[in-house]
Structure 1
Amino acid sequence: MVADIGALPKIVVTDLDGTFLSPDGSVSKINSDAVAQARRAGITFLVATGRAPRGLDPIRQMPGPNPVSVTSNGAILYDTADDSILQAVTIDPAVAQSVIMDLTEAIDGVTFAFEQGHRLALEPAYRTWDPVDDQPGMITGKALDLVRDRPFVKLLVQHKELTADDLAARAEPVVGDRLTVTHSAASNFGLLEVSAPGVSKASMLDRYCAELGVRPEEVAAFGDMPNDLEMLQWAGHAYAMADCHDSLLGTATVIGSNADSAVGRTITSWLS
């Protein structure tokens, strides 16, 4: 389903995994062509993702200018063209240390990692998609030692037996308002993404759009997971993917799937 958008938005912002990227992690021709068409119509294209800056290769490979991107769930505003961090909201190490100790006591089996922008620090038991030895810049150690290593923007909390929803239900009361808890993992193990208080894709987008003189009602946003919820609530035009997380239902117009390039098809429908 694609709703009539009325006046064209000034900015289109999209999540990547499960939304703009195809299931194989690539950018489809339909989506790439739609972005090019939107740019010709004067619409700015932005990315807002849970990925760290080092995970933006699919966007870098698109034709046309590389966009400014909101990464790490809103903790980093990143210039993809210049490969530079424009803004970063880090986590207080003392607060993180307290949260780590409380979660370890409350939930048996949790492991931790720390997203630092261009580098990931992790406990030896933390599961990564690829072997740590194959990923330059990664370091391992005990969580309470790593938390003091250098500034970081995201605390990752993993559990190999609980789902992300179950882990969130158990972790959120423990963390409280000390940090912001969300998740975007659709895997068979629990992974939470924890940021500084008040940090979300929406918080960084609001700040950046204000600098550009663009109001929320002039923004169209696409997403599929709980870490997109605040962004979809903030944007004037909100779209959720067909297989989105239940928390997004009722917040956004549901369109097709990323396998069908629904983001690109929706953008093209406005311009047609």
Structure 2
Amino acid sequence: MRENGGVTSALEAPATRAHAAVPPRLIATDLDGTLLRDDKSVSPRTVAALAAAEEAGLEVFFVTGRPARWMEVVADHLQGHGLAICGNGAAVVDLHEGPGRHRFAKVREVGHANARETVRLLRETVPGTLFAVEQTYAFHQERAYPRIFVEEPDSYGDAEELLAPGGVTASLPVLKLLAFHHDLEPDAFLGLARTALGERVTVTRSSPSALLEISGPGVSKASTLALCCAERGISPEEVVAFGDMPNDVEMLTWAGRAYAMGNAHPDALRAAGRQTAGNNEDGVALVIEEILATLA
């Protein structure tokens, strides 16, 4: 199911914070810096808390900036659901089939023409920007783009060439553009890009380096989570969310009850209004255990 990426009415409704009398029905958690420890492991305590939440009838959604192919990190902890929101809301992915065989249940793409114009505007505004292109089943990058990840791209080329009509990316949806700058401070780069691109796309970041993640207009973790919740009859007040970086801000603002990690970026802390322990101290598990104790 491919969508145009527009903001949904579910997200447009004013967010309200849950009262204690509203029992949660869904837990939405970021992965890196949140559910995962710094070594990318899921602690035994967290595994047990997720299983207990689902046994108690709560749905669990992994909501991440990661592409679908990087979801093997939670493959052993799917329990009963197996759905994840990947690419900062660009896709809803069914993980049941295992690594490399993910089924895309929902795709909210940037659009090739929009991606080309985004590259043009950002090159003009912030010279020295380098690009990579994330697709459903492919990844491409410019040769000067840093090898931030261990994987080998499917192809190399200038972004304009990669995104050209009839080019190597033409047959698959573009989920995200990645933009990197060697010299700028991360939040400064984010501010420049948001000013240059306006509402054409959604620009955020989750890396400690000057690496931006660019999705379609209105596409975010929050807007796709809102779609998924609306389909299930779950209100924002019934959602508990966890995150740590600027790409979590919209989700933390939208959810009825939100927690920033002890290691969170200041923007995430402001958006959440609550704080739990850091990712290396099982902060997500701590809150889930407290919630389940109140439901017992």
Q: In structure 2, what is the equivalent of residue 171 of structure 1? A: 193
Partner secondary structure for residue 153 of structure 1: strand
Q: Are the structure 2 counterparts of residues 21 and 5 from structure 1 closer, same or farther at C-alpha, using a change threshold of 3 Å?
A: farther
Gaps of 5+ in 2: 1-17
Q: Which residue of 2 aligns with 1:239?
A: 259
Contact 1:167 1:190 in 2 (8 A): yes
1:117 offset after TM fit, Å?
A: 2.3
Secondary structure of 2:77's aligned partner: coil
* Contact 1:111 1:158 survives alignment (8 Å): yes
How far apart, in 2, do the equivalents of 1:118 and 1:268 lie? 37
- Unpaired runs of 5+ residues, structure 1, are none
**Is the aligned partner of 1:140 residue 2:156?**
yes
Distance 2:78 2:132 in 1: 34
Q: TM-score normalized by structure 1?
A: 0.92
Q: Deviations over 1:68-115 (max 9, x none)?
A: 100000010111113200010111222221221121122121100111
1:56 partner SS: helix
Which TM-score applies when normalising by structure 2?
Answer: 0.85
Partner of 1:16: 31
SS at match of 1:217: helix
Which residue of the partner structure matches residue 29 of structure 1? Answer: 44
1:166 CA displacement: 1.2
Q: Who is 1:118 aligned against?
A: 137
Contact residue 28 and residue 239 of structure 2 kept, 8 A: yes
Q: Return the match for 2:290 from 264, 269, 272.
A: 269
Partner SS, residue 174 of structure 2: coil
Q: Distance in 2 between matches of 1:167 and 1:251?
A: 21
Residue 67 (structure 2) pairs with residue 52 (structure 1) = yes
**Alpha-carbon separation, structure 1, partners of 2:31 and 2:39:** 12
User: Following superposition of structure 1 onto structure 2, how do residues 93-108 of structure 1 map, counting pairs within 5 Å?
Assistant: 93-108=112-127
For residues 263 and 37 of structure 2, the distance between their equivalents in structure 1, rounded to whole angstroms, comes to 13
From 202, 217, 237, give the equivalent of 1:197.
Answer: 217
Equivalent pair of 1:116/1:152 in contact (CA under 8 Å): yes
Which AA in structure 2 matches 1:156? L
Please tell me the root mean square deviation across aligned C-alpha atoms, in Å: 1.7
Asked if 2 retains the 8 angstrom alpha-carbon contact of 1:54 and 1:117, the reply is: no
In structure 2, relative to structure 1, the CA distance for the partners of 1:33 and 1:4 (3 Å cut) is farther
Residues 169, 63 of structure 1: alpha-carbon distance in 2 compared, 3 angstrom cutoff: closer
CA-CA distance at 1:138 after TM superposition: 2.3
Residue among 48, 56, 61 paired with 1:41: 56
Offset, 1:163: 2.4
C-alpha change, 1:129 and 1:226, in structure 2 (3 Å) is same
Q: Structure 1 residues 85-94 or 241-250, which shifts more?
A: 241-250
Q: Secondary structure at the match of 1:102?
A: helix
1:25-53 deviation per Cα after TM superposition (whole angstroms, max 9, x unaligned) = 01111110000111111111111000000
Determine the C-alpha separation between the residues in 2 that align with 1:40 and 1:164.
Answer: 40
| Residue identity opposite 2:211 in structure 1 | L
Contact 2:90–2:176 (8 Å) recurs in 1: yes
